[in-house]
Structure 1
Amino acid sequence: MAQFLDALRALPTWAAALLALAENALLMGVGVAFGHLILRDTAQPQEKTLQRVLAGTALLGNAAVTLAGWYLWKHGLIHLDPDLSWSTATDLLLLILIMDLVMYAGHALAHLRPLFPLAHRLHHRFTEARPVTLFALHPAEVLGFGAVWIGVLAAHTFDMWAVAAYTVVNLLFGVLGHLGLDPVPARVRRSWVFYLVATPALHVGHHRDPTYNLGFYTTIGDRLFGTLAPDYDLERAGA
């Protein structure tokens, strides 16, 4: 691992940029393919050309964020612990809770009437969600999320394995939330764990009614601030 990190740190900027682009293309490709595998359909997304263009710009934006993170890490402004240990689990939980809170706040701001038309309305233009809709975002939102993510990493030394695991968790929640349906069986969703852990129905409900369900990984923010859809728990339980 030490040799790998040394090689990564020694990359010239152009090579790091290509690696960042390849990494994000792989994540996007796997995410979209996984989503369609669950849906088992080949339906074209609503306004497919626009969604694909936005997904392409999101890919470039995410690659730029990854490159910026690499640059800050290379120059010692971001520190990552390379050792796999018990702190991996605690760091992953901390990352999920921090990002869920920050993203809830940012999402709530994005829905304020003066701000909504500037960026986030573009995402809600696509009412029939498909996996690629996850990436159909205004460039400002892509870069805004990236800036928050880099800021969190710079503020604390996290386990690098936890950072990698968070990337997978973020992709999984994003894809499942943009299927247009909840593939998790009702008997599973009724578990006490999913009182706080968001099911795909949370974001599906947000696309139906943007005034509710502003959280991503948990329902904590929505429950605390009264933005949880009144029928979410009934839907979660399969009622």
Structure 2
Amino acid sequence: MLSSLANSFDSLIVLFSISMRYLLFTGSFYLFFYIWRNKRYWGAKIQQRYPENKHIINEIKNSFVTILIFGVVILTVIWAGKHGLTQVYQPINKYGYAYYFLSIGAMIVLHDTYFYWTHRLMHWKPLFKLAHKTHHLSTNPTPFAAYAFHPIEALVEVGIIPLIAFTIPHHASAITIFSIYSLLLNVAGHLGYELFPKGFASHKLFKWHNTSTHHNMHHRLVKCNYGLYFNFWDRLMKTNHPHYEKTFDTVIENREQGKINRLAEEVALK
């Protein structure tokens, strides 16, 4: 009886943690860019229009279904770890701190590859109609779209956690750090605003990292720009939109012009 109650409590803690993490990241970004500072940063808005409220509500509803699915899978992985079935280890310095940080980097690289190819699979016509279309209802996404998946796609998305847990020796905190990084980049990709500096998308070094414009174009144009963190696979497989870098530059020009206009208005009011 006590064991059952403890397991139920642990399950609630995991679900609460995932929910709060989602709300903290998505809610804070949404409140800042779409409500509090919406006029100040309007020039950085990739699509110069706001999404309808009904789409935002759908993003939130779909996200909480995703959170439930994520919770079930993560709880299963935790259970497997407690029974010695995964590659989780203790103490944190068992393999040294260099390996600890290397393991987080390996998770990110593995996830980037996993995401690209599962994302391409989701664009296979039968799967797109069945599942991935739900995510693409957000043609002008907000941060809440980060977890706005059909249940089938939610299972695919969270599949990276057991893949990591069973293949990469790791401390539990390493997966936590990876998960926070993943959510942050996911939210940034769906932000709807471009925050990176001028020339970023075409810079010889930085062009290998994705931008908000890159993923926003995917939501609007569908058959391009499949990557998550990095731009390696899209460049290698030639799936970047041919006008990606030009579109990024245009967004930055609009952002800079917005700053100039805002400063001119402030001077005029003095």
TM-score band w.r.t. shorter chain: 0.7 to 0.9
Q: Does 1:206 find its partner at 2:210? A: no
**Residue equivalent to 1:19:** 13
TM-fit CA distance, 1:192: 3.9
Which shows bigger deviation, 158-167 or 204-213?
Answer: 158-167
**Residue equivalent to 2:154:** 142
- Which aligned runs of 4 or more in structure 1 are off by greater than 6 angstroms? none
Larger radius of gyration: 2
TM-fit CA distance, 1:39: 1.2
Aligned match of 1:161 in 155, 168, 173? 173
Q: Does 1:106 find its partner at 2:118? A: yes
**Residue equivalent to 2:227:** 215
Distance in 1, matches of 2:101 and 2:198, equals 27
TM-fit CA distance, 1:116: 0.8
TM-fit CA distance, 1:73: 0.8
**Residue equivalent to 1:63:** 71
Paired residues of 1:173 and 1:200 also in contact (CA < 8 A): no
TM-fit CA distance, 1:35: 1.8
Paired residues of 1:107 and 1:214 also in contact (CA < 8 A): yes
Percent sequence identity over aligned pairs: 25
Q: Does 1:88 find its partner at 2:97? A: no
Q: Does 1:178 find its partner at 2:190? A: yes
Q: Which runs of 5+ in 1 are unaligned?
A: 1-10
**Residue equivalent to 2:86:** 78
Distance in 2, matches of 1:18 and 1:179, equals 29
- With normalisation by structure 1, the TM-score equals 0.87
Paired residues of 1:129 and 1:179 also in contact (CA < 8 A): yes
Q: Which runs of 5+ in 2 are unaligned?
A: 37-49, 254-270
**Residue equivalent to 2:261:** none
Distance in 1, matches of 2:134 and 2:34, equals 27
Q: Measured at CA, do residues 179 and 32 of structure 1 come closer, stay the same or move farther in structure 2, by a change above 3 Å?
A: same
Given residue 126 of structure 2, which amino acid in structure 1 is its aligned partner? P
**Residue equivalent to 2:244:** 232
Deviations 1:166-192 (A, max 9, x none): 111111111111122212232555554
- Say which structure is richer in helix: 2
- With normalisation by structure 2, the TM-score equals 0.77
Paired residues of 2:56 and 2:144 also in contact (CA < 8 A): no
RMSD: 2.3
